[in-house]
Chains A and B, each alone.
Chain A
Amino acid sequence: MKKNMLLKAGSVVIALVVWQIVSMAVGMEMLLASPLSVIQRLAVIWKEDGFFFTVLFSLLRITAGFLFALLAGIVLASLAGKFKAVEILLWPWVVTVKTVPVASFIIFSLIWFTYSQLTVFIAFLIAFPVIYNNILQGIKNVDGKMLEMAKLHNMSWRRRLLYVNLPGIKPYLFSACSTAVGMAWKAGIAAEVIGIVKGSIGEKLYESKIYIESVDLFAWTVIIILLSVFLEKAFMLILKALFKGVEKL
Chain B
Amino acid sequence: MIKFNNIRKSFGDRLVIKNFSLDIKDGEFIAIMGPSGSGKTTLLRIAAGLENADSGEISGIPERKAFVFQEDRLAEDYSVESNMKMASRKKIPEAEIETHLEELGLAGEIKTKVRKLSGGMKRRVAIARAILADADIIFLDEPFKGLDNELKKNVMDYVKKYSAGKTVLMVTHDRTEADYMTKHIISLSFY
Contacts and interface: CB of A to CB of B under 8 A. Distances in A.
Interface of A: 145-146, 148-149, 152-155, 159, 163-164, 167, 170, 243, 247-249
Given A154-B89, A159-B86, A163-B86, 13 more contacts: A148-B73, A149-B67, A149-B73, A149-B87, A152-B48, A152-B67, A153-B135, A154-B65, A164-B75, A167-B75, A167-B76, A167-B77, A247-B78
A153 B77 contact: no
A163 B86 CA distance: 8
B86 A145 contact: no
A145 B77 contact: no
Contacts of A167: 75-78
Contact of A163 (B64, B67, B78): B78
- What is the predominant secondary structure among interface residues of chain A facing chain B? helix
B75 A153 contact: no
Given A145-B71, A145-B73, A159-B86, A153 B78 contact: no
A142 B83 CA distance: 18
A1 to B, nearest CB: 21
A147 to B, nearest CB: 10
A152 B50 contact: yes
A146 B87 contact: no
A149 B69 contact: yes
B77 A247 contact: yes
A153 B71 contact: no
